[in-house]
Structure 1
């Protein structure tokens, strides 16, 4: 009680954030009731007919749903793996750079795309991979037939994954570099005295020292395995590549906004949220059991 009295100004500072969270994060969750209703906008939540699990049955029986679910998992898994692997490699390489000014320039260049919105980057990517864009210009110079990257399902998936990793890898790289700087320097000195080279030091000191942050990033990314990147895909894709690029979020968007099927759209959103919650819980339990790592 004494601590609460002395620190109450700090607790009061949390109030605005809590209010915003309640309004914008928890308030809209009341709309999940639409997943169990034959929702009519004019009738509202209280007068729309309850139909139980019919919306879920309807969605799961749609011919496109299995392909959408597969696209989401495939794109998300590749993004998740590369979001850990690419920043990890970059962080390890930059950690070996002795010229600090050069390291800062590289960090800034890699981190810069993180601050740009997909509205900007989407236009850049579309221009780069257009039929008459610079990428196809290089291909034509090699006497190879131009490729319609943005209209080909297989190429489009690769562009989605690569561009998302390129945009976000700077953030994870900085987080991993921070984890490296937190490792006790005396461990490296002791290893060097014992004759361990840079490779052995990385394998037996750096990587084990980074294990907690790698586990944390893995837990967070696994929880979003069904988030394949709504804004990015919505900006970049077109009906030609729906088969290979349509994911749960864009599917819900088209189902709710274009087809006005609010109940089925809410059902898909609830399905996605439940799966994400289960995955986060299982991953967190595994991290605690096998690595004794806890976030809280």
Structure 2
């Protein structure tokens, strides 16, 4: 068959993503010829798969949230949203009903089941403070197709970050292993036991105080860009978690990180789609500070 078991399973309409397929395998809900398997198992001709999909766990119901959304593209399979800073992507502790998912429900937009009852349609996430582009799946087939591209790291994602100082060299690759900080549990840090994280960066403009850095994600770990730039000595302006304790001369009203471009293959047409978003108004003073002499 050629495909790994987890890849084969997520092609089934009942399984929304490779993550869900891997969890089913790890929970021994997938048997091949009566035996448990690993996600990397390669199916053979004549294999008999027995798959048990448990019902979704009980949880709080999703309530609609009347919040204006900037939808820059929509069709029957997906939509692309330009998320503002301050909006949480899906319900979590402290944010039960004021999230992007709740706002999508308020508009009556159909969403895929996703990998969790509180995360319908969510293929990937942005931090609450980060603005920019997100793709949302409207059905399970689209969710599975898009999730596979994220797993294969074929999604194109560029971020713009305004940072303190100037990274050296002006372009390069930051590679480390990220895990939750051993002391500050809200933070992540580079640690030997973490997950591999790779960020490609290029300094687009700098002066004696700040720089505009373009980052391309090869992996997509939690807080990846924020940690990598901070550990390089150039924290993102306005970052309450990874910024320095001492006040800095240049201030930002929010985390100065914006998901600027997003490119992927469409699940139905198989054509490449590419989207770009302008910097939000609150970050323009930082842009003008760098480019005022041009």
Higher relative contact order (CA 8 A, sep 6+): 1
TM tier, shorter chain?
under 0.3
| TM-score relative to the length of structure 2 | 0.22
- Greater radius of gyration (CA): 1
| TM-score relative to the length of structure 1 | 0.22
